[in-house]
Amino acid sequence: MFSLTIFQNQWDNKTHRKMHFKSWDEFRDFLYKLSKLPKKGKRDAELLSPAIYETGTTRANKNVLAWAGWAAVDVDDWQVEGNLEHELRDRFGAYNFICYSTASSVSSMPKFRLVFELNQSVPAERIKHFWFSLNSELEAVGDKQTKDVSRMYYIPADYAGANNFIFSNTGRAVDPDELMAKWPYEERKTSGNFLDRLPDAFRDQVIAYRKDKLDNTDYVWTSYQDCPFWPKRMAAEYITISSEGWYRKMYQIMIGIAGNAVSRGYPITATQIVEMCRQFDMDTGKWYENRPMEVEANNALEYVYINGEVK
């Protein structure tokens, strides 16, 4: 599923205008149709965002649930040595992407946007890492840092006076998990968590100490339904979701399980967390049937080990 939020202009902060596409081809065709619309310039154009938001909220980073199946990178200083299309295919041809010009593109200096297919949505809490990893993989053609997880982009269009173009490449979808494993993200220097600011050796010792203190193995259960660590309130909220936000809420459930277990001294494993979440998913829609959940479970455990008990 590919989704987007539409904004009427750069000052619009309402998030109720949404579109959903069943396939990458359908999404690509939509962008191609937009590229034929005549526009005077940016002030005459709408904007699109890969971000999906909590229902009834405004365009703010805190309200972002995830990036829904795609990501875009702006390129403003590409030095064309021959044919732009050939050069981009040579560099990034392994991936499915759409390239379209922006309103400020001119023949002597083409400015454009690369839109990449993702094989999964990226939860809000992982967007900064993913963005850094994607731009690292693309050899920093865009900005590696982003504070705006609610970023939006002007639509492709036939902008007056601009060097307009659009083309696409057939490859494979970008795998966010793969890129984030390949390009680790270091945000600890600016973290508000004291443990994050410790040197690696001391930080690892503290985490190891916390793990070693988990020696209460008296708890037993047969499924998520009778597990004493199962976050029932979060699970109830998950069931009420009707259109989007499943991935983020499931990750919160994982953190809830890990936090409840650690607070009671139980050395829960990522495998146990995944097993319960898969059971729960089977009962509530099978959204994760083909999705590897081990990465999210390990991230949830690490979060709890670093931040302590989750309230």
146-177 confidence digits (pLDDT tens): 557 888 999 999 999 999 999 999 999 999 99
CB 261 within 8 A of CB 268: yes
Say what percent of the chain tops pLDDT 70. 86
Average pLDDT over residues 12-34: 94
Q: What is the pLDDT of residue 190?
A: 44
Q: What is the pLDDT of residue 153?
A: 94
Dihedral sign (CA 188, 193, 198, 202): negative
d(CA 39, CA 26): 23
Which alpha helices (H) appear in the chain, and where do they start and end? 24-34, 84-92, 127-137, 176-182, 200-212, 232-240, 246-263, 270-283, 294-307
> Looking at 5-19, 88-102, 213-227, which range is the least confident one?
213-227
pTM of the model: 0.63
The residue type found at 304 is V
Average pLDDT over residues 36-43: 92
Q: What is the pLDDT of residue 164?
A: 95
d(CA 127, CA 151): 11
Torsion, CA 62, CA 63, CA 65, CA 68, rounded to 10: -110
d(CA 206, CA 211): 9
How many other CB atoms are there within 10 angstroms of residue 303's CB atom? 17
Q: What is the pLDDT of residue 192?
A: 47
Q: What is the pLDDT of residue 296?
A: 83
Q: How far is CA 134 from CA 38, 63, 74, 270, in A?
A: 32, 23, 12, 26
Say what percent of the chain tops pLDDT 90. 50
Q: What is the pLDDT of residue 188?
A: 47
118-149 confidence digits (pLDDT tens): 999 999 888 988 998 998 898 867 654 555 78
Q: First CA to last CA across the chain, in angstroms?
A: 33
Q: Is the pLDDT reported for residue 186 higher than 80?
A: no
Q: What is the pLDDT of residue 152?
A: 92
Average pLDDT over residues 196-223: 69
Q: What are phi and psi of 49, to 5 degrees?
A: -135, 140
d(CA 278, CA 271): 10
Q: Is the pLDDT reported for residue 83 higher than 50?
A: yes
Beta bridge partners of 3: 20
Q: Higher model confidence: residue 210 or residue 267?
A: 267
Q: Is the pLDDT reported for residue 191 higher than 50?
A: no
Summary mean pLDDT of the chain? 85
Q: What is the pLDDT of residue 210?
A: 65
Q: Higher model confidence: residue 113 or residue 81?
A: 113
**Which pLDDT band holds residue 67 (cuts at 50, 70, 90)?**
very high
Q: What is the pLDDT of residue 175?
A: 94
Two tokens at 107?
A: 């023949």
Q: Higher model confidence: residue 1 or residue 272?
A: 272
Nearest partner of 176 among 116, 119, 136, 125, judged by Cα: 119
Q: What is the pLDDT of residue 243?
A: 57
69-79 confidence digits (pLDDT tens): 999 999 888 87
220-274 confidence digits (pLDDT tens): 999 999 999 999 999 998 888 765 567 778 888 999 999 999 889 998 899 999 9
